[in-house]
A and B are shown apart, each in its own frame.
Chain A
Amino acid sequence: MTRHVLHQLPLWVEGDLDAAGMAAVDRHLAQCPDCASAAGALRASQDLLREAMVSPFTTADRERLRGRVLAQVRVEASTKPTRRLIPRPALLAVGAATLLFTVILWRQEPTVAIPEPRPAPTAPQPPPEPPPAVAFQRGPLPLRIRESAATPGKTTLPAIPTRIEFQTADPTIRIIWLAQSNPLPDTTPSMEETL
């Protein structure tokens, strides 16, 4: 005798097994009284389920429902619908475009003037003229960018040593940043230049 099929009966009873599975269960039920009894009980339960769950609603119930539904529908149909000046798809498109534009702006690098590369100076450059003193102001400090050394042929920002100078309100204090990804060449101390 094949193995019992009790766990397959809830699928078998409504034909939810594949053809081979259904045939296997049928063969087993033909020779196993225990499983056949369980299958009969499950079938009876399914019959009872269908009998018990017959709709209890009468014609009067349905008419009452129809009346309630139609009364509400007529009220909703009679109220003038609010017309949109701009249809919803257009609103969605405008919103998506605005969002996209904002994201693009946000992701953009800040615009920095990249100086053209030029050969590195062979001789030490004289210190630059000190910038004129700037009076204290709340706005952005004056910014000056110049290169201290350059690598010919490379135009990307990190490869070019860039010198960024801020003149503070105090004319004796200047902040100088040197920025590059490669090791810096010989740089002159900033204090020497400021003094």
Chain B
Amino acid sequence: MDEGLASLPEAPADDPLAPLLQRILGGEVEAFEDLVARTESRVLALAWRMLGDRHLAEDAAQETYLRVFRSLRTFRVGERFEAWLVRITVNVCRDLARKRGPLPVPLHVMEGLPTDSAPLDAEETTLLRQRRALVQQALASLPQAERAALVLRDLEGLSTEEAARILGVRPVTVRSQAASARAKVQAFCARLLHPHGGRP
């Protein structure tokens, strides 16, 4: 996974995307294609982690780039472009999530998952797929703010301060929300992987 692990310093010495931005601002629309190509993996992954739905994530990524194109002239020189891009992506995802409403969590689908105690080699792929679905359902069960904190902090690899800047909250809030989300995800997975109460 190459996307999402780069840190986002707020004011780097030189932004590698700065020349591209200058070309776009100069009216070179083709440069925008390069910009999209260099950042789309991160935007798509972030949108999917925030929303938990592939099609919605693609819509979010498209809307993100359109907003970037329309408001590129408001981008502050000296700010890291990727931080700005992540902020726009998060805002677009929040808007879409608000319109969509909370995702249903079909717990019954997860009941009867095979446990670690008796994995069959032939079923490993299926087991892995089921575990992924389980984690995604656990994420879907989180409040939006906790999910955003968890995604930015633990999956996108941002520092607490960077995540707080993007979400517009205090660092202590991000720390608290991410910790709460980690505990809930762990409890959710333990309950379904070990339904008889055994400690994982």
Contacts and interface: CB of A to CB of B under 8 A. Distances in A.
Contacts of B134: 52
Contact of A65 (B4, B29, B58, B179): B58
A16 B178 contact: yes
Contact of B199 (A13, A37, A52): A37
Question: Interface residues of B toward A: which range?
Answer: 35 or more
B44 A41 contact: no
B48 to A, nearest CB: 6
Contacts of B144: none
A14 B178 contact: yes
Contacts of B199: 37-38, 41
A76 interface: yes
B135 A73 contact: no
Question: Interface residues of A toward B: which range?
Answer: 35 or more
Interface in A75-95: 76-77
Given A65-B58, A66-B37, A55 B45 contact: yes
B62 A68 contact: yes
Nearest to A8: B179
A125 interface: no
Contacts of A61: 44, 58
Contact of B200 (A41, A53, A68, A72): A41
Given A45-B186, A65-B40, A55 B178 contact: no
Given A48-B131, A51-B132, A55-B3, A42 B49 contact: no
Interface in A12-70: 13-14, 16, 37-38, 41-42, 44-46, 48-57, 61-62, 64-66, 68-70
Interface of A: 9-11, 13-14, 16, 37-38, 41-42, 44-46, 48-57, 61-62, 64-66, 68-70, 72-74, 76-77
Interface of B: 1, 3-4, 29, 32-33, 36-37, 40-41, 44-45, 48-49, 54, 58, 61-62, 65-66, 69-70, 131-132, 134-136, 139, 150-151, 153-155, 160, 175, 178-180, 182-183, 185-186, 189-190, 199-200
20 contacts: A10-B180, A11-B175, A13-B182, A16-B160, A42-B183, A45-B182, A46-B182, A46-B186, A48-B131, A49-B154, A53-B49, A54-B1, A55-B1, A61-B58, A65-B36, A66-B36, A68-B62, A70-B32, A73-B66, A76-B66
